[in-house]
A = this chain, B = another copy of it.
Amino acid sequence: MTDAPKNLLRPLPASLPEERVDVLTPPGAVRVERIVSTGHASPPGFWYDQREAEWVAVLQGAGRIAYDDGSEEELRAGDHTFIPAGRRHRVAWTTPDGPTVWLAVFYEG
């Protein structure tokens, strides 16, 4: 957290070898993360299966979350969604046109 970015939106890297995750909160019951993707997606067949609930927004760029029931949800700047604990999901796509900034709040709900 000491090295957390002071600003969520600048500066942003134009491209990254892999997603960059910064934790923005002190250790505790809740973890706020900024995640920067530059065209990244979850590996094929990979699913997040979390014990924690997740509230997530896209602050810049665009991304698509796929769920294991076959549905997908596209988030553009300002869009947000809630993923209950145990709902399997993956990042199906993020825009290749510049960085996508996710803001995610994880907690045991």
Contact = CB atoms under 8 A, between A and B. Distances in A.
A6 B10 CA distance: 25
Nearest to A109: B28
A97 B24 CA distance: 28
Interface residues of A, number: 26
Contacts of A29: 29-30, 107-109
Most buried by B among A32, A53, A109: A32
A92 interface: no
Interface of A: 6-10, 24-26, 28-30, 32, 53, 55, 57, 59, 77-80, 82, 103, 105, 107-109
A77 B107 contact: no
